[in-house]
Structure 1
Amino acid sequence: MRKTGEMNQPERDWTEGIKVIKAPILLVFADADSIRPEHMVEFWKLLGGGQRDAGFDGSQRPASQLAILPNTTHYNLIQSPLLTEVATAFLTQ
């Protein structure tokens, strides 16, 4: 129960932990998620997203990506066919 309670704490500071990750990351959220959109973007920015234009040819695109799936919630996100599409596209780059 203590561990569950710790997970439900309102805010965490992931800044230092994110800095050591070198692999590309796909962040996937629901558009009706319990996580606030500004927090989604903040997390993505820690991974290098949203810092600059990707350029005409996309060569300046960050390695990590952010996907917010429409018409989904935290509870049915895993069942969305869009999740498979987004994950497959990310993994086959």
Structure 2
Amino acid sequence: MSVRLPRVAVRLTEDRLEYVGFLLSWSAPRAGIDTVLDDAFVEWRDERGVEHRRQIGLLTRAWEDDGTRFAPRWRWRREGLLRVRHWADARAC
């Protein structure tokens, strides 16, 4: 048996952050994003003022940058997370 899962993606549009995950997809308005944490959690307020907190699973840190064969993956995830933080003009903590 084979199961094909949809691809995981983070999209930064003009006004929204869109996360397409294996089991859960969500989006956040760019203007409402307050914080992008180092553990890949994003905190924001929606149009009604309700607070939300979700994790960008694709950008979570799995390994430390210790020079091993996994280091390039860690660096790629970290660069992606910093790109999201810069795009949203959000704070780190």
What is the TM-score of this pair, normalised by structure 2? 0.33
Structure with bigger RCO (C-alpha 8 Å, 6+ apart): 1
Q: Report which of the two has the higher share of helix.
A: 1
